Each structure stands twice: as structure tokens, then as C-alpha cells.
Amino acid sequence: MSSNFTKYNDEELVEYLKGNQKDASAAFRVLYDRYSSTVHAYCVKVLGYSDDAEDIFQETFIKFYKNVTNQTTKFNIKGYLLTIARNLSLNAKRNKKQTVSEEYLEFLYEENQKYEQKELLDLVNRAIDLLDEEYKEAYILKEYNGLEYSEIAELTGITISNAKSRVFRAKKKIRDILQPYLKELT
Amino acid sequence: MNNFELINEFLDGALSSTEEEQLFAGLSSDSELRYELKQQLAIKSAIKSDVGAFTPKAESTLSIFNELGLIAPVSVASAGAGNSFVNFLKLNSTLIYTGVISSIATIAVMLLLLDFDMTNSGNSSDHNPKHSSKVDLIKPVETYGKNTLNSGIYEDKSSLKAEPVKVVYKYIYVNEDNKNKQQNISDLAEDNNQNQSFSSIWIDNQQLNDEYSFFDKSIYKSKQGNFANTEVIPIANLWSEFSQNKNFSFEVRGSEYQQNDIRTSNKNDFILPNTGFSFLYKISDEMKIGLDYRRENFYQSFSGFEDGQYFLFEQKPDLVTISMMLKYNPEFLQIYEFKPFLSANIGGNIAGPVGRLMIGSDIYLNNYMYFNLGVDYNLLMYKQNGNNFISGKPGFHIGAGINF
């Protein structure tokens, strides 16, 4: 039963992944419970809510499972999963040029409308889509995936200060884009 | 540091305690600062509420687990509701197709190789058991009287003699066991010579019981020397030491079949007179596929019409049945060490194709040893004198298994 495996840490679960099928199933379920939301959020935020995002999400865990048994050294599962997701997403994005403009936010906004959480979330998502890719990714890794700046730096291959700067600029831009709508909230 | 930077640092947890004190003091007096804090908190709150982003689709989850051949979380499986079986089929489609095709091929080969028409080989006097792989001795048809169906079946000898009925009795004795073959044939031949002592089994109950117990003993003698022992288990244990994955299972069982005919249901002198074993391969945590071998010693009778005449067949088969077996232990039904199962068999024996459906439960002692209990329903299709018949009977099984 999976519940028996929740007590194990990531390293121990990885060891079980290398064992028999029953233990591997149980261990994988626990790891999936721990990290699927993070990986899924990354995929749908970077690629948008699309079949591509779902495909990348699935492929990430499949690759993870197939590769993890060959890992002999300790490693960060969350970082490893996000690295796989990132690489797959980058490949997917090469074949697909996203064209988003600020104009499409206009139709969402109506004067004097009281925005609820759902509408605000929609606006935030649209604002995120307007960010440049490097800012967008850093923002997603920080706000959605809860990574530290050092982890973002390591994952994306930039310096910590650069990671911090990207996140800051992304936040500022989102705040600026949403400024007229946020007034309605306050 | 402007208001945006200040609030951002605070939310990042990057402010020192002194800076935090200054921020809290500022919040009480600075409406712009409060406004900035509200805005950034609203954005963070909106992101936290993004359930769609943080919740993978059930289909994606199932797809991942299926692709990897692993069992999906119960919550996802239940979310899939009616799709779970479909997903299972999709997951194991290749193996299931292989199993089904193998079963069909097995049956086809058996149909081609075996002559299911038990009367084709002629009467017992023409049959030479020494040169035949199967023995299908048939008592010459005995016909009594006319135009009454089963009214005379259970009557005693005197009533039959007094008022003959048009009932055809046949005694079919099927025995694949070479050791007993000769003895059984001799017995039958001897009884043939004694003129209708077999065909008139219904005539005298005492005579009937004596004769059957004689045959029963003959058959059970061979059975007891074969499967009713535990020598296979140590061998399986030995294997388990060499295998960590426990992808294979070996099961042995004893069975009791029930024939609906009350008078013929208690012909067996022994409890669990039928034995069998299965060799299974685990294709997933819930599904096993493999071969099932059963030696079936049971008495059965069944009736039908032939050329407008009612007749009664009686069999004391000693059949070896080989079948493909699919065993499903759904995880969502598992309670502690009880793992309910549903199994299906399709195969055949010397008489014809066989199908079975069993439900029961494995009861695990540890990771690799278990007992099981089950009830099943068995269907045997066979051909007699050019006519097709189906014989069905329920059975009770008790056994043990080992994973290795």
C-alpha cells in the first residue's frame, strides 16, 4: 500500500523504484503525489493549457522513472523532475512560436467590474503569458514551483543574482500590467 | 527601497527584523504601502488558487502509470470510474490479445488433433487401449421400452422390467490415465460380459454404489500418487531465493465439484477429489496470466435428446484439462492480507473445450506465500454421436500458492 511508503524520504523511495514491481509502484505513487503538482504547474504555465503541456508532463514522469534507476548518486528529485520538464518544454517550444500581445487583455477588462478570485487568476495567467520567456520561467519556478533563487539559478544555468533579478522584474511587470484591474480589488 | 521592493522583499522573507519593524510601522500610516501589499498578496493568492495548474488531469496520471506498467493511485483510478477496466484493457492489451489468441489457437489445435466424438472409435471390443492415447469406452446403448422420457430413470429394476420405458442409458467412461486405463477397460469389459451390469446402474441402488466405489478407488489410487503432496512447494521456495521480483506464481489446489443431479453428486468417496496446479506470470500488480493444469476426477451425469429419444449420459471422467488462465486481483478490493480475485480459464481436455470462471480470495501469509479459496462454474463442451452438448457444474476450491 502506498500509505506505508509515505514515511520514506525521496532517496529511500528511489531505491524502492529499483526493486520489484509492487514496491516500485507504491514508491512511484508517493513520489508522484509529492511532485506531480509542481511539474504540472510548470508545464501548463510554460506551455499554456494545451495537449502539449499534458504530453510534456506525462513524458517527464516517464523519463524520470526510466532514468532514475540508473542514478547512483544522491540528487534532488524535484530539481531533477523540473530539469526534465524544462528540457522537454524547450524542445517543444522550439517548434512553436507563441504570439501574445497585451491587446487580448483588454477584452477581459470591463470598467467598474468587481473581479473575483477566478477572474483575477485569469488575468494573472494572461499577464504571465506576456512576459519574456526568461522572466516568465523564473517567475513560474519561484511562484508556482516554490524554488529558492539558488535552485532557479542552478536549474536555468544563471547566477543567483540574475535569477533574483528576473523574478523581481517579472513580478513588477505583472503588477504593472494588472495595475488597472487590481484597483478594482482594493 | 520603494514600496514595491519593500513588500516584495517582505514576501520573499528577505527583510531583517529591523526592516520588518519599519514595514509594520509604515503599514499603519501609509495607505500606498498597504495598497501595494494588498496587490501583491492578491496576485499570490490568485496563484495559490490556480487549482488547474497544480492538479494533473486524471487521464494524464493514468496514462503515466499505464505507460510504466504501474498501478495508478486509487483516487485517480476511482476518478476514472468506469474507465478503469477500459484502461486496464488498454494497458495490457498486448498481453491480453496474446493470451486470447494463444487460447484460441490451443483450442483449435485440440479440436483438430482430438476426436471429440466419443463414439467414433467404435465399441469397446474394437478399441485397443495399448495403441491409443485416449480411452473412450462406451457401453453399447441400452434401450428399454418406448415413449417415456425420464420417468423411468430413477425407478428401480423391478419397475423398469415390469414396465419398460423408452430411455437410452449410456455409460461413458473416459480415462486418460495410462496406469488405470488397462484396469478400467478390463473392468468394463468384464462388466460387459456380465450383461448390462453397467447399463442398468439405476436398477439396483446397492449394485450401483458398489460398482462406482470400485471404479472410484481405481481412479483415486492414481490421483493420490500424483498431486496430493507438497513436494512442489520446496522447489518453488528454492526458486524464490533466486528471484527478488516474484513475477511468477505457482498454485496447487484441491477441488470439489457439484453436479446438480442429487443422486449422482455424492459418488466421490473423498473430499476434494480433484487436483490441479497453475503456473502464472505476473503482468501487473493486479493481473496474472498462465497455464492451469487440472486433473478432474468427478462423477457427472447429464441428459439430452438424441434422435427423438431421451437419454442419460453418465461419466466418471479422469480428465486432464489444460487451459490458459487469467487471474485478476483488483487492488481496490484488497483488505489487509485478503486479496479477492476473479479468474477465467479457457482450454480443453480429451472430451472437448472447457471454460471456467472463478471468484475467490487469496489470503497472504507473507509476501510470497498464500492460501486461496474460490468457487467457480465450469463449462465443458463435447460432442457425442455427432451432437454437441454442454455440461456445467459449480465447484469449490481450496489451495495454496507461492510467488517467486
Average pLDDT over residues B30-55: 86
Res. B263: pLDDT tops 90? no
**DSSP H helical ranges for B194-285:** 205-224, 232-240
Phi, psi of A9 (to 5 degrees): -85, 175
Average pLDDT over residues B235-264: 62
Cβ of residue B2 closer than 8 Å to a chain A Cβ: no
**Separation of alpha carbons B264 and B212, rounded Å:** 10
Cβ of residue B300 closer than 8 Å to a chain A Cβ: no
**Matching residue, cell 510467488:** B403
Q: In the prediction, which pLDDT does B87 show?
A: 56
Q: In the prediction, which pLDDT does A84 show?
A: 92
- Shared domain for A147 and A167, answered yes or no, is yes
Q: Cα distance from B71 to chain A (closest Cα, Å)?
A: 6
- Residue in A33, A66, A120 closest to B42 by CB: A120
Cβ of A28 within 8 Å of Cβ of B70? The answer is yes
Residue B19 vs residues A116, A174, B3, B15, B41: alpha-carbon distances, Å:
33, 25, 12, 6, 19
Cβ of residue B243 closer than 8 Å to a chain A Cβ: no
End position of a domain, from candidates A82, A100, A118: A100
**Separation of alpha carbons B97 and B145, rounded Å:** 53
ipTM of the complex: 0.79
> Which of A42, A76, A34 has the alpha carbon at shortest distance from A59?
A42
- In three-state secondary structure terms, A7 is coil
Average pLDDT over residues B195-210: 33
Tell me the average pLDDT of chain B: 65
Compare all CA atoms of chain B with the CA of A16 and give the residue at the minimum distance: B245
Q: In the prediction, which pLDDT does B226 show?
A: 36
- Shared domain for A113 and A34, answered yes or no, is no
* B318 CB-side CA count, 13 A: 24
- Shared domain for A127 and A71, answered yes or no, is no
Q: In the prediction, which pLDDT does B298 show?
A: 64
Q: Cα distance from A90 to chain B (closest Cα, Å)?
A: 19
- Shared domain for A113 and A92, answered yes or no, is no
Confidence band, pLDDT 50/70/90 cuts, at residue B128: very low
Compare all CA atoms of chain B with the CA of A174 and give the residue at the minimum distance: B43
More confident residue, B242 or B279: B279
* B104 CB-side CA count, 13 A: 6
- Shared domain for A30 and A84, answered yes or no, is yes
Handedness of CA A84, A89, A90, A94 (dihedral sign): positive
Residue A135's domain is classified under what CATH number? 1.10.10.10
> Which residues, including other chains, have CB under 8 Å from residue B63's CB and lie 6 or more apart?
A58
- Shared domain for A7 and A85, answered yes or no, is yes
Q: In the prediction, which pLDDT does B188 show?
A: 41
Res. B13: pLDDT tops 80? yes
Q: In the prediction, which pLDDT does B116 show?
A: 45
- Residue in B39, B46, B67 closest to A117 by CB: B46
Average pLDDT over residues B42-59: 84
pLDDT tens digits in sequence order for chain A, 186 residues long = 445 788 888 888 888 888 887 888 888 989 998 999 999 999 988 888 888 899 999 999 999 998 887 777 777 888 889 999 999 998 887 766 554 444 444 444 444 444 567 788 888 888 888 899 889 999 999 999 889 999 999 999 999 999 999 999 999 999 888 888 777 665
- Shared domain for A176 and A95, answered yes or no, is no
**Matching residue, cell 496520471:** B61
- Residue in A22, A38, A171 closest to B8 by CB: A171
Res. B218: pLDDT tops 50? no
User: What residues 3-22 of chain B have any CB closer than 8 A to a CB of chain A?
Assistant: 4-5, 8
Q: In the prediction, which pLDDT does A158 show?
A: 93
Compare all CA atoms of chain A with the CA of B47 and give the residue at the minimum distance: A121
Cβ of A54 within 8 Å of Cβ of B60? The answer is yes
End position of a domain, from candidates A37, A65, A100: A100
- Shared domain for A96 and A134, answered yes or no, is no
- Shared domain for A68 and A115, answered yes or no, is no
Q: What residues make up the domain containing A32?
A: 1-100
- Shared domain for A19 and A85, answered yes or no, is yes
Confidence band, pLDDT 50/70/90 cuts, at residue B93: low
- Shared domain for A170 and A141, answered yes or no, is yes
Task: Tell me the pLDDT tens digit for each residue of B144-199.
Answer: 333 333 333 333 333 333 333 344 444 444 444 444 444 443 444 444 444 333 33
Average pLDDT over residues B297-302: 64
- Shared domain for A71 and A144, answered yes or no, is no
**Separation of alpha carbons B86 and B91, rounded Å:** 9
> Which residues, including other chains, have CB under 8 Å from residue A59's CB and lie 6 or more apart?
A88
Res. B354: pLDDT tops 60? yes
Which pTM was predicted? Answer: 0.44
Average pLDDT over residues B291-300: 78
Residue A8's domain is classified under what CATH number? 1.10.1740.10
End position of a domain, from candidates A50, A71, A100: A100
**Separation of alpha carbons B287 and B291, rounded Å:** 14
- Residue in B42, B53, B59 closest to A40 by CB: B53
Percent of chain B with pLDDT over 90: 9
Res. B228: pLDDT tops 60? no
What is the total count of domains within chain A? Answer: 2
Q: Cα distance from B328 to chain A (closest Cα, Å)?
A: 15
Q: In the prediction, which pLDDT does B362 show?
A: 92
Q: In the prediction, which pLDDT does B360 show?
A: 93
